[in-house]
Amino acid sequence: MIEGLSHITFVVRDLDKMTNFLTSIFDAKEVYSSGDRMFSISREKYFLISGIWVAVMEGDALPEKTYNHVALKIAEKDYDKYAQRIRALGIELQEDRTRVPGEGRSLYLYDYDNHLFELHTGTLEQRLERYDQG
C-alpha cells in the first residue's frame, strides 16, 4: 500500500543556483549536501519545503519546457508575496492560466533547467466543486 509521497527529485546543471532558487522562493531548508562524495549517481543536495523532501542532483537540464509540473499549495493572502520573490530573482513568471472562476489562482515559473513549478491557491475539493457547477 502506498503510504504517501516520499520525495521529488530534480536533475539540475548547477546545485548552487538551484539552492538559491529553492531557498529564495520556497523557503526551502537545506538538510544535506553530498559535497564531492557520490552516494548516488551524482552530487546532490536535499531540502525540506513545508515537510516535503526535495532532492536535486547534478546532471543535464531538460531539453525543453513542458507543462509537466509540481504544484505547491499557497494561501491566497501570500500570492503577491510569492510573485514578488520570483520577480526579485529575475525569473520569468506567468500568472494564472485560462481557467474557470473559483478554482484558485496560480503562479507558474520555470527553474534554470526547464522544470515547471506552480504555486496554487486552490484545493482539489474547490476545483471539483466548481466543475460540478458546470
Please list the active-site residues: 44
Per the DSSP assignment, residues forming a β-bridge with 9 are: 55
SS3 95: strand
Cell of 28: 526551502
Query: Around 39, how many Cα atoms within 13 Å sit in the side-chain half-sphere?
Result: 7
The rounded distance, in Å, linking the Cα atoms of 95 and 73 is: 15
Pick the closest to residue 82 from 59, 105, 98 (CA basis).
105
Is 113:13 a contact under the CB 8 Å cutoff?
A: yes
